[in-house]
Chains A and B, each alone.
Chain A
């Protein structure tokens, strides 16, 4: 199936295809890093293995940090943290936001009013600020980070799915289903959801890139994943105080990884968007 999608994109526009493939490659690469971290990491990322702040060398290809931990090993393990947090939280917001959007758009009335007002007010916050507020309330921790990132993206799914539901709800085929005697459940699951769901992967792929940055931002501010756990955002901040003294490797590598992963997801998302957006001829 993937091959078929790729061929389709390739035929449409070569440049889009190349960008999508690049994005896919980056994401897959980091995903493998995360999966294989225990096998390919040369050192334990939690403990000091050498002198502090050693520059990159054959022994430590990305050097060591201020506590003598191997930066390369921390990067590898850090990819696990970012993948788990980002994918789980976008998945949570996808499920929660889409369900609420579907229900709200389909049934309308008071539920719809209340939900729309709540979601719109959440949406009006800048993403990171909202995440900070929630994270500050909940305190650090992996689960709490996931929750605070989820809250940021729930309104996006809600709005997209609700809007789509409203337009599908008024379509003739839904009217036909009502006249046939279909129940609300049948109409929702057989008629509305399949036609609404086409937009979800698009929103998903767009949000993931953003979530990467939000996760890094939270950790950078110390509101994300707690201390010894390897995390790019945290390591970025950790290296920052020694940056001016010339120890660039401690924060540069985590920083690059954040950029790389966000870029990978963006490119992939753009490509999928090109493909999945229904074209009107």
Chain B
């Protein structure tokens, strides 16, 4: 049994004059100790998918269909009270901007202690010990325990957010663009940290990012999202060696690679579709180089190719 099994999830935003189908029929499976990279461009629905797992969709959005099985329980069916027991405890989340999630008037150590005591049955002293241990684990020395968030650099803040996220001993960590606001060297450090946490804590991680290169650095599998749908799901190596979906192919050609000697600049012409009025048929069809007649008429189903998933008519 997979740790997390998302089946046919649909999350829509109901605006006054339109319905935005932000996530439209996504299925995804994560095993214990796995790092999944969820990659997509702005408006692809990757962040909405992340929030859907925790049922944190802001109104006027809501999950309209599908299931999210976490440890064999369907989260979609749980009520708010039951979700509160899972949120932050069994599934934690880390966001792009750590400053908005940290209390500026509270010392980092105290915030961590508070989080631990809220989710675990320990005494104050034990919580302080644990807090120090977790800060140590993310690379923050005990001498910074009494610092305030504003005394921390961007990378340190993100590290303390991660410490807070893992302090409740979760089995799944959702990281939504955790390094987008950070410099490239710090980004590399944080990625190394994620990798280590996975190894040491057997943690499963969903890394949501717009940068497929970042995902390629640590993810075991990569899910490529386009216009609210998962168009390809395969191991990082497979996606690198032989992307199947035309969008993934285009993306791999468009992403700059500093190690390649030849200087070619590729891009995918056109813009992503309007999600309140997606084109009939395949959503990528208007931009697709390998478009066929059927692509504009029927929506392609998810196809299994060996152990990968592709949503494209080219593969059956």
Contact = CB atoms under 8 A, between A and B. Distances in A.
Q: Does chain A touch chain B in the assembled complex, meaning CB atoms less than 8 Å apart?
A: yes
Interface of A: 11-12
A11 B16 CA distance: 7
3 contacts: A11-B16, A11-B17, A12-B16
Nearest to A8: B16
Chain A interface secondary structure, helix, strand, loop or mixed?
helix
Contacts of A11: 16-17
Interface of B: 16-17
A115 B16 CA distance: 44
Nearest to B17: A11
A12 B16 CA distance: 7
Nearest to A11: B16
Contacts of B17: 11
Contacts of A12: 16
A12 B17 CA distance: 10
Contacts of B16: 11-12
B43 to A, nearest CB: 13
A11 B17 CA distance: 8
A111 to B, nearest CB: 36
A9 to B, nearest CB: 11
Nearest to B16: A11
A12 B60 CA distance: 13
A12 B15 CA distance: 10
Task: Return the 3 tightest CB-CB contacts between A and B, nearest first.
Answer: A11-B16, A12-B16, A11-B17
B47 to A, nearest CB: 14
A178 B294 CA distance: 51
B178 to A, nearest CB: 23
B147 to A, nearest CB: 32
A132 B16 CA distance: 48
A149 B95 CA distance: 52
B230 to A, nearest CB: 25
